[in-house]
Structure 1
Amino acid sequence: MGMTITEKIITAHTDRENVKPGEIVECKIDLALANDITAPLSIETFEKSGATRVFDPAKIALVPDHFAPNKDIHSAIQCQMMREFAYKHNLELYFEIGRMGIEHALLPEQGLVLPGDVVIGADSHTCTYGALGAFSTGVGSTDLAAAWITGRIWFKVPGSLKFVYSGKLKPWVSGKDLILYTIGQIGVDGARYCAMEF
């Protein structure tokens, strides 16, 4: 039986010939993302591990987009922690103020997310990159720290839900309306641990 695009992307990032939904696999990652809320916990976990370097300074993106400009001392400390980690490890994808934007718009605009990539991020909206043909998912800050060290992460291969639409949208009806309608049909948890493929 053939594989879905999600299964093909995951397989291409493993040492296996194929994967099946429900299997636990270890994948190589193309990009690991954190922001000024989630990065500090990942940095603390990284440092507690005893690791001295990241797996690839070109594959870790840090974007201070939630509390920049800083609203208080605590948020300034979180951004400072990111900045110091980025400089210490020569991260190529640290987006300082003046060079930044909303993380999930910024990375595609910079050409950093491509079809076929595996992207993880300590942010629940990381799955947005599926719209670009990548496999992407949110992870916890601890898993992100481990990926910074190894360049790999484990996944339970998700099942896939196929959606087929026909007809033509009426004027002023957009793709957002279509996806909101779809979510309304399946419910907010209707695709839990599944990849939605169109």
Structure 2
Amino acid sequence: MKNPMTITEKVLAAHAGLEHVTPGDLIKVKVDLALANDITAPLAIRVFREIGKPKVFDRDKIALVADHFVPNKDILSAQQAKLMREFAQEQNIRHYYELGDGGVEHVILPEKGLVVPGDLVMGADSHTCTYGALGAFSTGVGSTDLGAVMATG
């Protein structure tokens, strides 16, 4: 008899299309949401472009939030915000938030209904695990990893 699964294992199994997972299993999952901010998005975008895909895996499953340097503190932060804004426009990303309609990324997403129990979220921010409080599996990943997620889901 298999051991009962934790909520984390249940979410991971569901997103891998498996009946059961156990610690140590290598699985491939589909994400419900990929998240980046004005600091982490520029590198993720560069990696996405290096992969060579013309479009993100799903424009409705990516959230880009300018929340670290709002308003921009200098030219570099303004350039990073501009790069993220232009990428969101180019890719027609629906969940793009900046000055005027933004705030702290980890507050905005649940408020907008973008993270709900049972979701699988990967974000290029170490605080992404916050969504575990909502019953989601969420983890922070590096910007290079997120670039791959934006390409493949």
TM-score under structure 2 length normalisation: 0.97
Report whether the alignment pairs 1:49 with 2:54: no
Aligned residues: 151
1:50: Cα distance to partner? 1.2
Unaligned runs of at least 5 residues, structure 1: 152-198
3-state SS of paired residue (1:16):
coil
Partner Cα separation in structure 2 for residue 122 and residue 47 of structure 1: 17
Unaligned runs of at least 5 residues, structure 2: none
Partner Cα separation in structure 1 for residue 136 and residue 17 of structure 2: 19
Partner Cα separation in structure 2 for residue 51 and residue 130 of structure 1: 31
Partner Cα separation in structure 2 for residue 15 and residue 116 of structure 1: 14
Instruction: Give the aligned partner of residue 70 of structure 1.
Output: 72
1:34 to 36, 40, 48: 36
Report whether the alignment pairs 1:6 with 2:15: no
1:100: Cα distance to partner? 0.2
Partner Cα separation in structure 1 for residue 98 and residue 71 of structure 2: 10
Instruction: Give the aligned partner of residue 59 of structure 1.
Output: 61
Counting only pairs closer than 5 Å after superposition, residues 113-124 of structure 1 correspond to structure 2 as 113-124=115-126
Structure 1 runs of 4+ aligned residues shifted over 4 Å read none
Instruction: Encode CA deviations 1:36-79: one digit per residue, 9 max, x unaligned.
Output: 00000000111112110001000000000001110000000000
Instruction: Encode CA deviations 1:86-121: one digit per residue, 9 max, x unaligned.
Output: 000000000021000000011111111000000010
Amino acid at match of 1:124: S
Partner Cα separation in structure 2 for residue 109 and residue 62 of structure 1: 15
Amino acid at match of 1:51: K
3-state SS of paired residue (2:149):
helix
Report whether the alignment pairs 1:103 with 2:121: no
Partner Cα separation in structure 2 for residue 139 and residue 96 of structure 1: 22
3-state SS of paired residue (2:92):
coil
Q: Which has the higher contact order (CA 8 A, sep 6+)?
A: 2
Instruction: Give the aligned partner of residue 91 of structure 1.
Output: 93
1:15: Cα distance to partner? 2.5
TM-score under structure 1 length normalisation: 0.75
Instruction: Give the aligned partner of residue 175 of structure 1.
Output: none
Partner Cα separation in structure 2 for residue 107 and residue 41 of structure 1: 21
Partner Cα separation in structure 2 for residue 46 and residue 75 of structure 1: 20
Instruction: Give the aligned partner of residue 142 of structure 2.
Output: 140
Per mean C-alpha deviation after superposition, the further-off stretch among 17-26 and 79-88 is 17-26
